[in-house]
Structure 1
Amino acid sequence: MFALTSIKGVGRRFSNIVCKKADIDMNKRAGELTPDELERLMTVVANPRQFKVPDWFLNRKKDYKDGRFSQVVSNALDMKLRDDLERLKKIRNHRGLRHYWGLRVRGQHTKTTGRRGKTVGVSKKR
């Protein structure tokens, strides 16, 4: 179960439900799996909705382009995130602009915390 969490986009809860849907013992180590069990795991991770994993469990809810629910893993996850941020920046959305400027996005206070990112410094008089 925990070996699956090293895949980007698969957490502990999702790996738990994947192992249950594929009928694999969760205490088994990744090296002990048979090729048949690996194949079952890969099919469940690739299309979890066919195995009745609920929509709220997936990490890509209502995709912007096609409106589908899906579980995005590895490089596809990076690509989707980058595309989303580019879209937000292009339409000059508040969230997109905050990402562009390198500021906090989710409404945190920034007066005292988060000062280490971009320091300019003061030049000393000679």
Structure 2
Amino acid sequence: MSEEGEKTERVEEEEFKHIVRILDTDLDGNKRVAYSLCGIKGVGRRVARAMVLYSGVDMGAKMGKLSNSDIEKLKVALGSVEKRLPFWMLNRRRDMITGEDKHIMGSDMALKFQDDINLLRKIRSYRGIRHERGLKVRGQRTKSTGRRGLVVGVVRKKLIAKLEKTGVK
């Protein structure tokens, strides 16, 4: 009887997937389904929960214990996010170019974000100019915060004065 127990344990270990791949993203198999889906860019807790409920997968199950059919259900659900969620839950409403409501996930998100910034720079909008100059974009104050770069200030002046005294240029 102990041999059967060992066999079932081995089978369970083989079935468990430590990494599950969905939308070109490696997800942790040790986390619950909804939390594991949050590892995909563009999928937060709320969207993940909605997609798990829509697909009919057990919310409390670990991602690594899901069968291949359940993983396919999740992939289909994530593929039809725009149809299943209300417009206010989408992350790209009124697209600048097409005007459509979309939900972008995965690597497309970073590409679209960079394209938007480049468009703002190209049309010379206020936000685009602020992005170009590396300044704050959303109205924050800039007198004392957001300082970065190579400007050293007083320390640099002291160093220059010291070098002038020694005669090194």
- Specify which of 135, 140, 145 is matched with residue 113 of structure 1: 145
Q: Who wins on radius of gyration, i.e. which is larger?
A: 2
Which residue type is aligned with residue 150 of structure 2?
A: T
Q: Which residue of 2 aligns with 1:46?
A: 79
Instruction: Identify unmatched segments of 5+ residues in structure 1.
Output: none
Q: Which residue of 1 aligns with 2:118?
A: 86
> Which has the larger share of helix?
2
Q: Please list every run of at least 4 consecutive aligned residues from structure 1 whose deviation after the TM superposition is greater than 4 angstroms.
A: none
> Which has the larger share of strand?
2
- CA distance in 1 between partners of 2:132 and 2:35 (Å): 35
Q: Which residue of 1 aligns with 2:60?
A: 27
Secondary structure in 1 aligned to 2:92?
coil
Instruction: Identify unmatched segments of 5+ residues in structure 2.
Output: 1-33, 165-169
Identity of aligned residues (%): 35
Q: Encode CA deviations 1:3-46: one digit per residue, 9 max, x unaligned.
A: 11111111111111111111122211110111111111111212
Higher-RCO chain (CA-CA 8 Å, sequence separation at least 6): 1
- Tell me the TM-score normalised to structure 1 length: 0.90
- Tell me the TM-score normalised to structure 2 length: 0.69
Q: Which residue of 1 aligns with 2:130?
A: 98
Secondary structure in 2 aligned to 1:62?
coil
- CA distance in 2 between partners of 1:42 and 1:60 (Å): 20
The 8 Å contact of residues 59 and 71 in structure 1, kept in 2 or not, is answered as: yes
- Residue 66 in structure 1 maps to residue 98 in structure 2: yes
**How far did residue 65 of structure 1 move?**
2.0
- Aligned-pair Cα RMSD in Å: 1.3
Q: How many residues align?
A: 124
Q: Which residue of 2 aligns with 1:75?
A: 107
